[in-house]
Amino acid sequence: MSADRRKLLTGAAAGAVSGLAGLASSLPGGAWAAGSDKPEKEEVRIGFIPLTDCASVVMASVLGFDKKYGVKIIPTKEASWAGVRDKLVNGELDMAHALYGMIYGVHLGVAGPKKDMAVLMTLNNNGQAITLSKKLADKGAVDGASLAKLMATDKREYTFAQTFPTGTHAMWLYYWMAAHGINPLKDAKVITVPPPQMVANMRVGNMDGYCVGEPWNHRAIVDGIGITAVTSQDIWKDHPEKVLASSGDFVKQYPNTARAVIMAVLEAGRWIDAGLQNKLKMADTIAEKAYVNTGVDAINQRILGRYQNGLGRTWDDPNYMKFFNDGAVNFPYLSDGMWFLTQHKRWGLLKDHPDYLAVAKQINQIDLYKQAASALKVNVPKDAMRSSKLIDGVVWDGREAAKYADAFKVKA
């Protein structure tokens, strides 16, 4: 990043930071940087995948919010979610921008090694999508209903990609297909492809569709090779997406460090969501080679809610990717984590029902999050469960999870 741009960004953050100047001294136990609350580990390596939703982790580092709480965040760019998983498990990474369902999968030993994991906070809501190839669109498959119709009449092997077997994108893809009567495991071939490789793979015809985070859906439109069939917020409005995660051991060993990082990333999310100029500066920054490595135009439209589907339709989406939303984004709801487990059971990744609530309570660090949020005067919901209606009209509220998981007609 150029010195001028860094100066510009740091200046932009100064206003946000200055209002917090008195915070450290007013916190329980004295300043974070001294006394009993001093972070035990001052440098924290946080892995990320090149996606728009890594922004709050990156900006916490770029804008210096981390230093405020006595830590130095070192963002490290990773090539795949499997790589992120392995480095979190073996300790090469302290934390990561991670797929919600991946962290739950690791905790239960699904799709890889088993290790106790921790979700520190939710990083973003919304902002993913399902892209169908231009070739499918030319045959009339432009949404779920028309895709189901084409697959029923034009018989062949259809290939769809997600980013990790237990991850969010796999679950959005499966849920959406099943809502339209397509069994993703029986009626299609599903492959795993790292997010930055989605567009290149579609260009050479390796898949008919994929589910991924931005900017790789908008990029397919810009490149003329794909269309947006549905956004993830149309599957589940304000759904949980990426989380800030670590191993369970890390939180036990370095609780002050974990809390300090939560605070820095909360600050960054609040800064991003504070206004148009901040969002555009964020897009400029994360588009750089060190981070997402794409044209800023692939990022800056959808973070403002300006959508197009690649077929001439444009719309303003109020449920675009949010990083803070007055704190509503970041609380690690138990019901959010439990939902991914219900889908892992639905699709045969889990053979038996786990103790859904107990697992979520082990993983989601609600007390630690509440400490960080309360120090920053960030709103915290009264209930650790929330209720949502998904695209098929079914309501999920965290209660009777086993019954919910078993009730789907389309499943493994």
Distances (CA, A) of 325 to 51, 122, 336, 390: 19, 12, 17, 20
pLDDT value at residue 36 = 84
Residue type, 202: M
Per DSSP, helices labelled H in 109-167 are: 134-138, 144-153
Residue type, 183: N
Distances (CA, A) of 250 to 83, 91, 253, 365: 18, 9, 5, 12
Tokens of 50: 């090149």
Long-range contacts of 177-180 (CB under 8 A, 24+ apart): 177/144, 177/147, 178/392, 178/408, 178/410, 178/411, 179/144, 179/235, 179/390, 179/391, 179/392, 180/144, 180/145, 180/147, 180/148
Separation CA 45–CA 238 (nearest Å): 28
pLDDT value at residue 19 = 38
* Unique residue bearing structure tokens 């509503």: 328
* Unique residue bearing structure tokens 């960080």: 372
pLDDT value at residue 14 = 45
pTM of the predicted model as reported, rounded to 2 decimal places: 0.93
Q: Are 341 and 363 contacting, i.e. CB atoms less than 8 angstroms apart?
A: no
Distances (CA, A) of 17 to 245, 270, 344, 380, 398: 25, 11, 41, 21, 37
Looking only at the bridges linking them, the beta strands covering 209-213 and 159-162 are: parallel
pLDDT value at residue 111 = 81
pLDDT value at residue 188 = 98
Query: Going residue by residue through the chain (412 aa), what tens digit of pLDDT does each one get?
Result: 544 444 445 444 444 443 333 343 334 333 444 568 999 999 999 999 999 999 999 999 999 999 999 999 999 999 999 999 999 999 999 999 999 999 999 999 998 899 999 999 999 999 999 999 999 999 999 999 999 999 999 999 999 999 999 999 999 999 999 999 999 999 999 999 999 999 999 999 999 999 999 999 999 999 999 999 999 999 999 999 999 999 999 999 999 999 999 999 999 999 999 999 999 999 999 999 999 999 999 999 999 999 999 999 999 999 999 999 999 999 999 999 999 999 999 999 999 999 999 999 999 999 999 999 999 999 999 999 999 999 999 999 999 999 999 999 999 9
pLDDT value at residue 21 = 35
